[in-house]
Structure 1
Amino acid sequence: MRIAYLGTADLGSVRTRDSLDILVPKETANLFTTHRMEAARDRTAYVRAPLVTIVPPALPHALADRPGPNTLILSIAEPFFSETARAALGSDEPSFVEPHAAADSLIREVADAVVREFPSLDRLTASFLNALAALLAAHVARNYLAAAPVKAMSNGGLAAHKMRCVRNFIAEHLGETIRVEQLAAAVHLSPFHFARMFKQATGQSPHLHLLLQRIERAKELLAGTDSPIIEVAADVGFRTQGHFTDVFHRYTGFTPKVFRLNAREASSRAH
């Protein structure tokens, strides 16, 4: 494991690293992250304390920050992280569940303790780093990863054409109340069997998957339109702005208003 402050060499152009990187910005940081998850478009976020951001191994990304020791980077080697993640989740190929920024009190407390106890980071011992790597790797695995999807119907997962049908149904009715019974009926399964097979195929319950789809669509609307937040909430299936704000903050670390302001600031900086 390596612990250091983000330096000039870490900033600028898009790159990939063979480690799990946890970035912990201080109050003085002005950290922007740009990344791409799977086939999604590039996403830029402004990450400030008390949030942290987690960059998976081999993920193309770019970082921008003001000069100086403003952001602590905790790097865990990919082989060690993958082994720990498999043990923690009981899965051969665990995969990340976005978000890439989160209000994570444990990571924040660990980073603060390291800086407090070791003002000179080059005095960190190998035994301390190994113990810390094990703690953080298991924590990230349990909180930000999902078990690998089941690849074949013979293993109990939902078939690919049925997954497409479910996703299309969700996309078409995202602004409405969607029940598991409706999703199950769309692919001609009982709710019980559908829920079990869906989780085997995605690593997520239908409820969590639907909720994350609502959040992702809300991000797009907040960043790309001037629609009032109450309208965005309704467009993605929330009955009240208050409930939407609570859920959005829980999964992104931002209120909708702050997320919109950060997205616009990031866009203006990019242009």
Structure 2
Amino acid sequence: MNTPTHMPSSSEFQPGTVTLVGAGPGDPDLLTLKAVKAIAAATVLLVDDLVNEEVLAHASPKARIVHVGKRGGCKSTPQAFIEKLMVMAANEGETVVRLKGGDPFIFGRGGEEVEHLQAAGIHVQVVNGITSGLAAVTSLGVPLTHREHAHGVVFVTGHAKPGSAGTDWRALAATARDAKLTLVIYMGVSGVKRIQGELLTGLPAATPVAVVQRASLPNQRHAVTTLGELSASVARDGLASPSVIVVGDVISGVAAAASHVPAQVRAA
């Protein structure tokens, strides 16, 4: 990473406000300039677990950094408590940054937080970040859309909200087949057997799939397989969270070259 540059506080980021900032997929060089400005201007930063510690090099030495991790399968800071911290800090005149992995508005609970802050009368803005689903396929040298292979892309979570039915994978499989869509599945590794089984009701077993763990980081690992072999590949290669599962013909560009190489060797 380049030597951090502490930019002067921007007039966009004022005391008593909250900015939701996407820190990107992990590589600190993928931060936007606006994200760097927001981080540098912050007096309080509430930081998720998936944010690379190197990103915090852009923060002011005087800033208060509070880690509020939320990781699947691990003990997490309650969402209501995080929202309470944001409101309290803003009402105390702090310039608050809520720093999230990826993009705040793609499975980052950014929508819930904006609604809560606005209801409390807090001015809030959002700085987008590169989402891991995009970074994952880019690291493999393939696109999410392609005129010959995919007319669109669907970002979908594999982790249903407690008490909800979750994604209708059977319907999604049929739609992806008929409309030639790429499926990008976040938080799907823990339920990969169920997801695989239901997708197979509408998609061929030979459909190319990639599973990318820790996208964009030096220790990234990935496996390229087929939908019919998906859960077996995840188990065999020991792929775990945080991973993104990408399903669709766009993956065919890397499948032939990578399918015989162990995931441990196929590091970006």
TM-score class, shorter-chain normalisation, is: under 0.3
**TM-score scaled by structure 2?**
0.24
Could you tell me the TM-score, scaled by structure 1's length?
0.23
Higher percent of residues as helix: 1
